[in-house]
Amino acid sequence: MRLNWIAICLATVVFLGQAIAAEQEPSSKVAVVKAQVLEQKAADKESVAPLPAAAAITKSEVQAVDPAGVAPVDDAITCLSRTIYWEAKGGTAADMEDVANVILNRIGHEGFPGTICEVVKQGSEKKACQFSWWCDGRSDQVQEDDRYTIAKEIARKALNQQIKDRTGGAMYFHDKKVHPSWAKEYIKTAETDTFVFYKPHDGKAK
């Protein structure tokens, strides 16, 4: 059923993409619709169908979404972009890509929600957010436009399935400067100059 829904949505997105291309005007609304379909495709771990070119989010479309970094965090692109920004804005593009992969690895996986925004905000009802920036009590508005532009471009590539997962399928990570007690419960899958990555022993979220 989910595969049929994805197929229908992809066909709709292709049509919308062609219409926008004909007008030659980037549209944040089209990007948001495309992202919603793409996150569902990513959540369906069994789907191996290639992504139609017209369904991919373009550079101009993604940059049209929340250009000032002040919009409500309630769509897939904004949720993914802000998380990449706040979790890795001080790092390299590779660090940002790794954070994006952790989020996409979580969606649709057992024990995790089915959308990017739900994954990012998970635990907020208990004040125990999976991603601390979401409930640290500070402003979520962007402070460095250039870094946010990069974060959005990486979010675009991640949604388009154009980024290699160097984390080894990780669903957890932490900065190398800290040593959380929870890390002992998981399998380390990768390590970079900035982060250490993990996944559960049994494949299930805890």
Assess if residue 205 is contained within a domain. Answer: no
Assess if residue 102 is contained within a domain. Answer: yes
pLDDT at 204: 66
Assess if residue 176 is contained within a domain. Answer: yes
Other Cβ atoms closer than 10 A to 100? 27
pLDDT at 26: 63
- Which residue's entry shows tokens 């219409």? 19
Assess if residue 19 is contained within a domain. Answer: yes
**Ordered alpha helix ranges (H), 24-170:** 28-43, 59-64, 76-88, 93-106, 116-121, 145-159
Assess if residue 68 is contained within a domain. Answer: yes
Number of domains within the chain: 1
Compute the residue count for the chain: 206
Q: Which residue, 128, 71, 119, 124, is CA-closest to 99? A: 119
Q: What are phi and psi of 181, to 5 degrees?
A: -65, -30
Per-residue pLDDT of 139-187, as tens digits, reads 989 999 999 999 999 999 999 999 999 999 999 999 999 999 999 999 9
60-64, 77-81, 122-126 — which is least confidently predicted? Answer: 122-126
pLDDT at 50: 80
The token pair at 192 is: 């970079």
* Residues 142 and 76: beta-carbon distance below 8 Å: no
Q: Is the pLDDT of residue 25 over 60?
A: no
- If you count DSSP H runs as helices and E runs as strands, how many of each does the chain have, helices first? 7, 3
pLDDT at 23: 46
Q: How far, CA to CA in Å, does 206 sit from each of 63, 87, 102, 123, 203? A: 35, 21, 15, 12, 10
If residue 198 lies in a helix (H) or strand (E), which one and from where to where? strand 195-200
Assess if residue 94 is contained within a domain. Answer: yes
The token pair at 185 is: 């419960």
Range of the domain at 15: 2-200
Q: Is the pLDDT of residue 24 over 70?
A: no
Assess if residue 206 is contained within a domain. Answer: no
Assess if residue 185 is contained within a domain. Answer: yes
